Amino acid sequence: MTRVLISGGKVVSASGRSDADVLIDGETIAAVLAPGQAETLGLSDEGRDVTVIDASGKYVIPGGVDVHTHMELPFGGTAASDTFETGTIAAAWGGVTTIVDFAVQRTGESVQDGLAEWHRKAEGNCAIDYGFHQIIGGVDEESLKAMTYLVDHEGITSFKLFMAYPGVFYADDGQILRAMQNAGESGAMIMMHAENGIAIDVLVAQALARGETDPKFHSFTRPAELEAEATHRAISLSKVAGNVPLYIVHMSASEALEEVAAARHAGHNVFAETCPQYLYLSIEDQLAQPGFEGAKWVCSTPLRSKHEHHQADLWKGLRMNELAVVSTDHCPFCMKEQKELGLGDFSKIPNGIGGVEHRLELLYQGVVTGELSLERWVETCCTTPARMFGLHPRKGVIVPGADADVVVWDPNGHTTIGVDHKHHMNMDHSAYEGFEVDGKVDTVLSRGTVVVADDQFHGRPGHGRYLPRGLSQYLQ
């Protein structure tokens, strides 16, 4: 077996940082060595069956874990533009070594058929390891049984429900309660898209009737109150179901965050994630751009006003662990022929922003500007997502026995984001076009194999393996 020594770097974990060398044997981490120890063991010379990666002056962190992606997701008459191949290659470029994507059961279809379809799309195509959550788009006796089966036999331990998108994914309160009770019996996690979709659809129809068709009305018809109301209701239902673990996805509003903070303060098993778009982008600076430009930033939950301190509150939430995880909700659509479906009617713009490639570098800006510690950056982007969704200790940590998913991060490097700067996502634009950020992905290893180094992709589709997951370890 080949051995790799990542030498001379500063190893950063969720709990601290230290100068150390990381020894990899085959696909796993063999040892974390104090400086000088590798030489004593005769490991530092090239040609002794050890490949040395020089990490001097750099950080060595666990590979990124993005627990919210939508490769090839059919949506609004089209499909997300990244395949599992293009999307996982872009992820690797951005220092991500694990994604957890969402297999879909649409209303009226069977859960197992949906899952089988997602396996077909992903198998043999991924450049990095991948797992699945299961979207339950129709709660009934059959899908409830399927949930239990997936936990017991398929390594799928988290189920996403929608309080939005009536007629597509929407579950009513009774269905949500039943799914939560079912999850409570098997120990599974319920993930929630928390927006009051019934009320939103009324506001959308009224806006369109007034001739308000521009992309910005996407946000105006999805007010923060309706995110907070749904968040509160989901929390209440999870309490009634027996304090069932609940994870609110893509949180964008201060009002919703307050609901999560209150529930956590009261000791409930409630967690939440946010995404880079909510930390950096706004109605004023992006979504309300003239003409149809704003379509690039149509996503749900929507971007919020920069004058309402959502962004500052979300950063604070990340520091305070009211927000446990940063994911991307990577759901890319090109402007041409995809976002364009909503020309003249914002409600027909496919919802989604692509960002799987940029999460680590965008969040690292929070370290640069003092919003997050280096350790908290690693914790929210790598370690907690793995623990939250049953991937610990294989993923998210650099400890002996863990998969050798490692990123060498250059804090002195510099990254310019955008389609003009050759991003690797299959998109004809970038939500972060022209963003200049400090820090750069230097080298990425996935299970001991170098997949990115020297500004080159060295991986291959099919290297990535399916990851059956255990129950959430966040409460254990």
C-alpha 414, offset from chain centre: 23
Taking the least distance from each CB to Zn ion, the nearer of 193 and 447 is 193
CB 176, min distance to Zn ion, A: 17
CB 379, min distance to Zn ion, A: 22
Of positions 195, 214, 273, 329, contacts Zn ion by CB under 5 A: 329
Which residues make Cβ contacts (< 8 Å) with residue 262, sequence separation at least 6?
Answer: none
Taking the least distance from each CB to Zn ion, the nearer of 388 and 407 is 388
Taking the least distance from each CB to Zn ion, the nearer of 21 and 195 is 195
CB 166, min distance to Zn ion, A: 17
Taking the least distance from each CB to Zn ion, the nearer of 234 and 378 is 234
DSSP bridge partners of 415 = 437
Taking the least distance from each CB to Zn ion, the nearer of 322 and 329 is 329
> Distances in Å between the alpha carbon of 191 and those of 48, 244, 262, 275?
48, 11, 18, 15
Taking the least distance from each CB to Zn ion, the nearer of 50 and 73 is 73
DSSP bridge partners of 26 = none
Report the distance separating Cα 73 and Cα 68, nearest Å: 12
- Interface with Zn ion by CB under 5 A: which range of 239-247, 322-330, 370-378, 433-441? 322-330
Report the distance separating Cα 425 and Cα 354, nearest Å: 8
Contacts to Zn ion from residues 412-431, by CB under 5 A: none
Backbone Cα Rg of the chain? 22
Which residues make Cβ contacts (< 8 Å) with residue 370, sequence separation at least 6?
Answer: none
Quick one: residue 189, left, alpha or beta (phi over 0 = left, psi -120 to 50 = alpha)? beta
**Residue whose C-alpha is closest to residue 271's, from 233, 253, 244:** 244
C-alpha 4, offset from chain centre: 29
Contacts to Zn ion from residues 163-202, by CB under 5 A: none
- Interface with Zn ion by CB under 5 A: which range of 83-91, 228-236, 291-299, 329-337? 329-337
CB 68, min distance to Zn ion, A: 6
- Interface with Zn ion by CB under 5 A: which range of 15-23, 93-101, 323-331, 408-416? 323-331
- Interface with Zn ion by CB under 5 A: which range of 12-20, 326-334, 342-350, 431-439? 326-334
CB 102, min distance to Zn ion, A: 7
Write the DSSP string, 65-133: EEEEE-TT-EETTEE-S--HHHHHHHHHHTTEEEEEEEEEE-TTS-HHHHHHHHHHHHTTT-SSEEEEE
Say if CB 232 and CB 259 are below 8 A apart: yes
CB 120, min distance to Zn ion, A: 20
CB 277, min distance to Zn ion, A: 12
Residue nearest to Zn ion (CB): 329
Joined tokens for residue 176: 């949500």
Q: Total residues at the site for Zn ion (CB under 5 A)?
A: 1
Count of CA atoms in the C-beta half-sphere (13 A) of 117: 17
Report the distance separating Cα 150 and Cα 156, nearest Å: 5
Taking the least distance from each CB to Zn ion, the nearer of 66 and 329 is 329
Pattern 335-374, binding to Zn ion, x per CB under 5 A?
----------------------------------------
229 near Zn ion, rule: CB under 5 A: no
CB 196, min distance to Zn ion, A: 17
CB 213, min distance to Zn ion, A: 24
Taking the least distance from each CB to Zn ion, the nearer of 329 and 405 is 329
First to last CA, the chain: 34
CB 80, min distance to Zn ion, A: 10
Pattern 280-319, binding to Zn ion, x per CB under 5 A?
----------------------------------------
What residue has token string 């706004």? Answer: 282
CB 352, min distance to Zn ion, A: 8
What residue has token string 């239902």? Answer: 237
- Interface with Zn ion by CB under 5 A: which range of 281-289, 294-302, 327-335, 454-462? 327-335
**Residue whose C-alpha is closest to residue 452's, from 406, 402, 395:** 406
Residues at the contact surface with Zn ion, assessed by CB under 5 A: 329
